[in-house]
Amino acid sequence: MSRKYFGTDGIRGRVGQWPITPELVLRLGFAAGVVLTRSNAQEGVHPRVVIGKDTRISGYMLESAMEAGLSAAGVDVVLLGPMPTPAVAYLTRALRLQAGVMISASHNPYDDNGIKFFSASGTKLPDSIEMDIEALLDSPLICRDSAHLGRVRRMDDAAGRYIEFCKSTFPSTLDLKGLKLVVDCAHGATYHIAPLVFHELGAEVVAIGNTPNGTNINDACGATHPEALRAAVLAHQADLGIALDGDGDRLMMVDRAGTLFDGDQLLYAIVKHRQTEPGFSGGVVGTAMTNMAVELALSQRNIPFARARVGDRYVLEMMTELDWYWGGENSGHIICRDKHSTGDGIISALQVLAALVSNATTLGAYTAEVKLFPQRLINVRTALPVNLEQAPRVRAAVEAAERDLSGSGRVLLRPSGTEPLIRVMVEGADAGRVAHWAETIAEAVRELAGATQTPG
């Protein structure tokens, strides 16, 4: 079935424009309250749902609308305030709640926002449940009678609980003493959490991007703009830098020389270390965006590798299907299923640090065998949906690139699931050819879409 509201990561868009309006979110809360609790409700007991949000100013408005919709459906609500997305997943599971709601547009600018849901097990909802919610969204909102409305309370110790959970994923025999870390919180939901986690494990922490004002989330900082982290690492002569995104589920790292390490390299570091521990089994799930160099390096270690659809939810679905424990995307979404039910930037950073501390090495040395293939990503903004299947010039450009790169590269062309963009990605051994074909294909897409390019 085609989707009217949900993308690959919940519902997302510009605040005040459909579908991110108070009215729609009110209706969404009601529909979700009905669907998510239908099979879990006990006679005479109100289902319970937790709501978290990032630091966008629109979070206040959308939180109130979501809370009202859920209450109208007879659902009790626990409000967390600003909390990372993976904290919502953890607390949903730890508190034995029926569902979790996160109000965030992740790495997007502050004037976007979105809603994503977690199941009782702390995982993102399957497509079938999202479609059930969509089916109810256009139905009349029928408020329950006053005696059966949901109640609302705030949880004051949510941050402390999540901090302790994050620390519990780091080996108890290790610490971070002697390490100087710069932690960039992207002025987002981890601002009051991430610096404390690393500090309490012994590191000297320099926090940046930790003064949110409602409009500066992801603004020239965080995992999507690691230049700020690189500059801070060099200025403070730190050992490593850790960059998170606005809702705390993405991770990028920088070493003391200012070299950036993306999600592919960090995932490899985690799995390489896990392979040295007792009981290691299974393989790694990446996506169509995962650099070919990671696949080759894992193969040399006899570790199986598979590619899922782009989107961390699809990575997790394949990991679960294969019963594998590690997966992720080069954007910095990394899932360690042996530690958490969803991707978590803080926990992923702790796993990388555990590998480096255990082996008394640097990030560059530990991932030296991953020689990343040149990649060029160009985002082409589209005003309207574009049918790439019925675009002869685009098809011809892609086919020509694939012939030229045969055996030494690949082409990926796909619509974004979170923004009105067509993503053009070309990867290969020769940087010049990669850049040429990326520009050629992007130009064909621009002509088709009447679009303007945005930075990749």
Dist. CA 424–CA 398, nearest whole Å: 10
In 3D space, the residue among 105, 104, 40 whose CA is nearest the CA of residue 76 turns out to be 40
φ, ψ of residue 156 in degrees (nearest 5): -80, -25
Q: Which of the residues 58, 106, 119, 331 is marked catalytic?
A: 106
The number of CA neighbours under 13 Å toward the Cβ of 391 is 21
In contact, 367 and 429? CB cutoff 8 Å: no
What residues pair up with 410 in beta bridges, in sequence order?
A: 427
Asked if 106 is an active-site residue, the reply is yes
Q: What angle do CA 187, 90, 107 make, to 5 degrees?
A: 30
3-state helix, strand, coil in the chain (%, to 5): 35, 20, 40
Distance CA 13, CA 173 (A): 44
| Cβ(75)–Cβ(41) below 8 Å | no
CA distance 307 to 329: 10
How many beta carbons lie within 10 A of that of residue 145, not counting itself?
A: 7
Alpha carbon distance 381, 372 (integer Å)? 27
Q: Contact 340/89 with Cβ under 8 angstroms?
A: yes
What are the DSSP calls for 377-435, one per residue? EEEEE-SS---GGG-HHHHHHHHHHHHHHTTTEEEEEEE-SSSSEEEEEEEES-HHHHH
List residues with catalytic annotation. Answer: 106
